[in-house]
Amino acid sequence: MSTELSPIDKAKFVAAKKAVEFVEDGMRVGLGTGSTAAWMVRCLGELVRDEGLKIKGVPTSTRTAQLAREVGIEVVSLDAAKWLDITIDGADEFDGDLNLIKGGGGALLQEKIVATASDQMIVIADAGKEVETLGQFPLPVELVPFGWQTTQALIEETLVSLDVLARKSTLRMNGDTPFVTDEGNHILDLHLKRIGNAQQTAMVLNQMPGVVENGLFIDICDRVVIGYGDGRVEVRDINAGTIEENMLDFVESENVFSDLAD
C-alpha cells in the first residue's frame, strides 16, 4: 500500500469527502462508477461504520455494488428504491454549464438512469476534468451487439451533419474481445475532439436504431465538487448560481483509501 497519495488522488479524495457531506441519514443514494466515485463509496462506508449513517445505496455497476457491500453500505435495486434523494458520481469531462461526458468506465446506461431518477446529481472531479467545450474525451455510445458495424457506419455518416470537429469511432475492446457492459452491450467511442452542440448530438444519436444510450449528460448535474491536490475544494451549484471554496484537512492516516487507483 502506498504511504502517500499522489496529488491527483488527493484531489479525488477531498472532492469525494466534501460531496458526502450532502448525504443525510435515511437517504436513498445513487452510487456512481469509476475511480473518483470509488473514493466516495469508501467515504460513505466510513460514515456508515464510524458515525452510524443509515442509507440505502443504488449502485450503477456490478463493481460499485461489490465495493459498497464491502464497506458496509446497504445495497438495493433502483426498482426497490423507486426514487433517489441524491446521486454522486464522477465525470470524464464537464463544461461551464455542468454538462458532462460520462462512460469512460463503461457504465453510462445505468449511470444515466440512476442520475435522472434522483432529486439531485452531484459530480465529483479533479480540476483537470473541466473543459471549455466538451469533446476532447471520447464520447461513449452504448450499442446492441446485433449489427453493431452497421450502426457504427450510420453513426459516422450522421456525424457529418453535426457540429463536431472529427468523426472517428472505435469499438471499445477488453483485450482481444469487445468490451461488454453490464447489460451485455458494446461501447463505441466517438473521437469528436469538439462537440459544438451537445444537446443536438445527444438527441440525434439516441434516435438511431441500435443505439441504446450515449454518454452526454445534459441538464442533469446540479452541483460539481472539484478537488485539488493541496486539499482545496470548490463547489459549484448551477441552480443557485453559487461557488463555494473550502480547504479540507488531509490526514495521512486516511491512506486506507490509497488502494484505489485508476
CA atoms of 29 and 207, how far apart (whole Å): 30
Confidence (pLDDT) at 258: 46
* Domain carrying residue 174: 139-215
Q: Name the phi and psi angles at 38, rounded to 5.
A: -65, -35
Confidence (pLDDT) at 128: 95
**Amino acid letter for position 130:** E
Is 147 part of any known ligand binding site? no
Q: Is residue 39 part of a domain?
A: yes
Is 210 part of any known ligand binding site? no
DSSP letter, residue 104: T
Q: Is residue 50 part of a domain?
A: yes
| Residue 10 pLDDT exceeds 80 | yes
CA atoms of 258 and 44, how far apart (whole Å): 16
| Residue 93 pLDDT exceeds 50 | yes
Q: What is the CATH number of the domain that holds 184?
A: 3.30.70.260
pLDDT tens digit string along 26-76?
999 999 999 999 999 999 999 999 999 999 999 999 999 999 999 999 999
pLDDT-derived band at 111, boundaries 50, 70, 90: very high
C-alpha cell at 97: 454549464
Q: What is the CATH number of the domain that holds 98?
A: 3.40.50.1360
Q: Is residue 2 part of a domain?
A: no
Is 105 part of any known ligand binding site? yes
- Asked if residue 229 and residue 113 are part of one domain, the reply reads yes
Q: Name the phi and psi angles at 243, rounded to 5.
A: -130, 125
Q: Nearest-CA neighbor of 185 among 116, 113, 109?
A: 109
Determine how β-strand 177-178 pairs with β-strand 139-143. unpaired
- Asked if residue 183 and residue 244 are part of one domain, the reply reads no
**In total, how many domains does the chain have?**
2
**What does the CA dihedral 94, 99, 103, 104 come to, rounded to 10 degrees?**
-10
Mean pLDDT, range 213-237, rounded to an integer: 97
Is 241 part of any known ligand binding site? no
Confidence (pLDDT) at 4: 79
pLDDT tens digit string along 228-261?
999 999 999 999 999 999 998 765 545 445 454 4
Confidence (pLDDT) at 251: 59
| Residue 8 pLDDT exceeds 50 | yes
Q: Is residue 262 part of a domain?
A: no
- Asked if residue 178 and residue 70 are part of one domain, the reply reads no
Run of H or E including 190: strand 186-191
Who contacts 22 (Cβ-Cβ below 8 Å, separation ≥6)?
86, 88, 122, 223
C-alpha cell at 227: 478537488
Enumerate the active-site residues: 111
pLDDT tens digit string along 182-206?
999 999 999 999 999 999 999 999 9
